[in-house]
Amino acid sequence: MSNDLVGVWEVALSDGVHRIEFEHGTTTGKRVVCIDGKEVLRRDWMFKLVGKETFYVGNSETKATINIDAVSGFAYEYTLEINGKSLKKYMENRSKMTSTWLLNLDGTDCRVVLEKDTMDIWSNGQKMETAGEFVEDGTETHFTLADHDCCIKAVSSGKRRDGIIHTLLVDGNEVAECTD
């Protein structure tokens, strides 16, 4: 790893948690972006040391931008934006828009993410085939993970502030939601 590494961010998206690394050579003007250890962008000999680099992360092609700002003299500040929001704002907003469950199925760790606005379900980077149905007290969205019957139940909490409660059932057993 080069000593030009100036920023490392962990970004939880529907298809998984991605590690973004940014190298900035302030003497050469080099800029390199790596996602999960793979180089996705490289610029050598950039005359301007400040500016921004935009790229896309994950299977969901989520837009990410690294802003390079001069703080003082030869010091720089690097900030990551996801979909135009600061990483902190994006993650706060995301926790309202998604539910995430971590579980172990037959010895394999699975990360299941529900996107509440679209009702898309992702598992370990793949968007799942689902079948939705209305039931007496809400909706059920069915999908299969490694030969296990899975279902996300959406039930009104009865309280406006809490809205809808989503529960993951695997083979009929409830799985606790995790906080990303």
Quote the CA–CA distance of 108 and 88 in Å, as a whole number. Answer: 30
Give the pLDDT of residue 26: 81
Give the pLDDT of residue 1: 47
Quote the CA–CA distance of 152 and 142 in Å, as a whole number. Answer: 7
Q: Model confidence at 46, in pLDDT bands (50, 70, 90)?
A: confident
The pLDDT tens digits of the residues spanning 52-104 come to 999 999 988 999 999 999 988 778 999 999 999 999 999 988 888 999 999 99
Mean pLDDT over the full length of the chain: 90
Tell me what the mean pLDDT of segment 35-49 comes to. Answer: 90
- Which residues in the chain are classed under CATH 2.40.128.180? 5-83, 96-175
Tell me what the mean pLDDT of segment 19-37 comes to. Answer: 93
Q: Given a cut of 90, is residue 48 above it in pLDDT?
A: no
Q: What is the 3-state secondary structure (H, E, C) of 54-117?
A: EEEECCCCEEEEEEEEEEECCEEEEEEEECCEEHHHHHHHHHHHEEEEEEEECCEEEEEEEECC
Give the pLDDT of residue 40: 96
CATH class of 96-175: mainly beta
Give the pLDDT of residue 45: 82
For the question of whether the overall pTM of this predicted structure is more than 0.85, the answer is no
Q: Which residue has the higher pLDDT, 160 or 125?
A: 125
Strand partners, 112: 101, 123
Give the pLDDT of residue 90: 93
Q: Domain 5-83, what architecture? A: Beta Barrel (2.40)
